[in-house]
Amino acid sequence: MMEKEKLRQMQEKRQNWESSVYKKAVQENQERKQKFKNLSGIEIQHLFTPEDTAHLNYLEDIGFPGQFPYLRGIHPTLYRTRLWTMRQFAGFGSAEETNQRYHYLLEHGETGLSVAFDYPTLYGYDTDHPLARGEFGKCGVAVSSLKDMEILFKGIPLDKITTSMTINGPAAVIWAMYIANAENQGIRKDMIGGTIQNDILKEYIAQKSYIFPPEPSMRLIVDTFEYGSTHVPKWNTISISGYHIREAGSTAIQELAFTLGDGIEYVKAAVKRGLVLDDFAPRLSFFFNAHNDFFEEIAKYRAARRIWAREMKKLGAKKQRSLWMRFHTQTAGCSLTAQQPEINIVRVTMQALAAVLGGTQSLHTNSMDEALALPSEKAVRIALRTQQILAEESGVTDTVDPLGGSYYVEWLTDTMEQETYKYFDKVERLGGVIPAIEKGFFQKEIAESAYRYQKEVDANQRILVGVNRYQLDEEISIPILKMDEKGEERQINRLKTLRHERDNSKVDAHLKRLQKAAAGEENLMPFILDCVHSYATLGEVCDVLREVFGEYREPAIY
């Protein structure tokens, strides 16, 4: 903290500068008299000086990389010794097509895989289910059985590459398929690494691809924590996600507060079950958005680490790794425009730079054509090259937290933390995260933020280049990816063949054992693994759980 006399002198010099220099400049430029606010509505001063951070204690509030409170990073050397994992979220149509894309990305320098699933898979339906018809392969790959998982990762060494899978409602089942596939390849469970998203609270709040009610959903998640910490120790059993909250229209502060609040809720649920915090906490991970307001995003990541470390300490964490916030970042899909799609490359570069300066452990860069279709090979290659240029040419990896100590960045980081705790207090007064979901608190907050943002764009108060300023009247000229139209038919035929050739008596026996276990209190992962090893389909396993748990229906809240 600044000494009182130095602070007084600084305040006096600032007042003199504002009255003699700044005031005159503003009077000569009437346009710049407006108030400047970031995307969270925080008013930004025209200048930041040491007095704006004078209340911060360097050792307690900022510290050093690799030391509590981890504001400046969880690793003391960060990218000087190891770059972030470069992932490209990919999945479309059939497992065959997606496998080809994975090999293409790995050949061009990707260092980790990231799986996008189609909507029937996200909702726990097989491709041949009546509700799935016509939705095959849209927005991701269809995985209905272990057979599909085997094709999806054909020729990919699962003990040498990490895989992130964006799956929530049926996460335990899809994870079981991945484990079973590795075991069938002769790879032990303790040798594979990766992440399942497995974040159901965010689904109730924003993305809506839930299956079961909150209580059994939380049970399944804690089951994965327990099973993973014992049997699959290199796996991140959850990726607590703010990304979809932001894509639904939240502000950066809401993304930060709601995501960390969900994370704390998961920890409390696991501890209530009887799990030891330091056994499972080191494998918790996070997933954030990287939007357009450059400094706001950097401050968000820095604040997230400090808040998480402090809250985990309050909850009783003792191990250093239990205090670490490890996170993946994806550039903001909702910021991309169908108009002049090539300029999305610029947006993505800026967003990716914010993620790197904020200390991300893993990064996906969106492709320029994603507002129009699934990415073409050229578009996804440019997106990957964006990360590689940042890593190899920009110099931003040379030092840890290069913006640390900036008066503006430190002030904004602290301000976002304060606003986050205000949201924590509101949720606490509502009874906690799940009661707040049931009362529609998060959903309403996000809807109001999205509406406010769109009003600003419509009124030209918020500029989107190519949309409400600098428009062009031209046809889109970039190539658009088209999927194989025969993929759905092949997938359905594969399911028919699978059901005919497998040992159906074994499948039935395993499904009945799962049903009995689900009605009790046992950890369900071993039972789910038995089911998928016998080639029970995703839909069959989820239907058993639907029968026992029921399905969630969102209450009318508006």
* Rounded distance between C-alpha atoms, residue 402 and residue 397, angstroms: 9
- For residue 536, is it left (φ>0), alpha (ψ between -120 and 50) or beta? beta
Task: Say what angle helices 525-533 and 171-184 make with each other, to 10 degrees.
Answer: 60
* Rounded distance between C-alpha atoms, residue 174 and residue 71, angstroms: 34
Question: Chain-centre distance of CA 391, in angstroms?
Answer: 21
CATH of 60-458 given 3.40.50.2000, 3.20.20.240, 3.40.50.300, 1.10.3720.10? 3.20.20.240
End-to-end CA, the chain: 47
Structure tokens at 179: 């484990």
Structure tokens at 117: 């699933």
**Non-local CB neighbours of 501 within 8 Å, separated by 6+ positions:** none
296: closest CA among 248, 358, 366? 358
What does each of the 558 residues of the chain score in pLDDT, given as a tens digit? 567 888 888 888 989 988 888 888 877 666 555 678 999 999 999 899 999 999 999 989 999 999 999 999 999 999 999 999 999 999 988 999 999 999 999 999 999 999 999 999 999 999 999 999 889 988 899 999 999 999 999 999 999 999 999 999 999 999 999 999 999 999 999 999 999 999 999 999 999 999 999 999 999 999 999 999 999 999 999 999 999 999 999 999 999 999 999 999 999 999 999 999 999 999 999 999 999 999 999 999 999 999 999 999 999 999 999 999 999 999 999 999 999 999 999 999 999 999 999 999 999 999 999 999 889 999 999 999 999 999 999 999 999 999 999 999 999 999 999 999 999 999 999 999 999 999 999 999 999 999 999 999 999 999 999 999 999 988 877 777 777 778 899 999 999 999 999 999 999 999 999 999 999 999 999 999 999 999 999 999 999 999 999 999 987 765
Contact criterion met (CB below 8 Å) for 312 and 271: no
- The radius of gyration computed from the CA coordinates of the chain, to the nearest angstrom, equals 24
Structure tokens at 253: 């502060």
CA distances from 23 to 13, 28, 44, 68, 357 (A): 14, 9, 17, 42, 33
* Rounded distance between C-alpha atoms, residue 327 and residue 492, angstroms: 37
Please give the backbone phi and psi of residue 367, each rounded to the nearest 5 degrees, phi first: -90, 155
189: closest CA among 197, 179, 181? 179
Contact criterion met (CB below 8 Å) for 146 and 535: yes
pTM over 0.85: yes
Contact criterion met (CB below 8 Å) for 277 and 271: yes
Instruction: Name the residue ranges covered by the structural domains of the chain.
Output: 60-458, 489-549
H or E segment and range at residue 283: none
Contact criterion met (CB below 8 Å) for 155 and 131: no
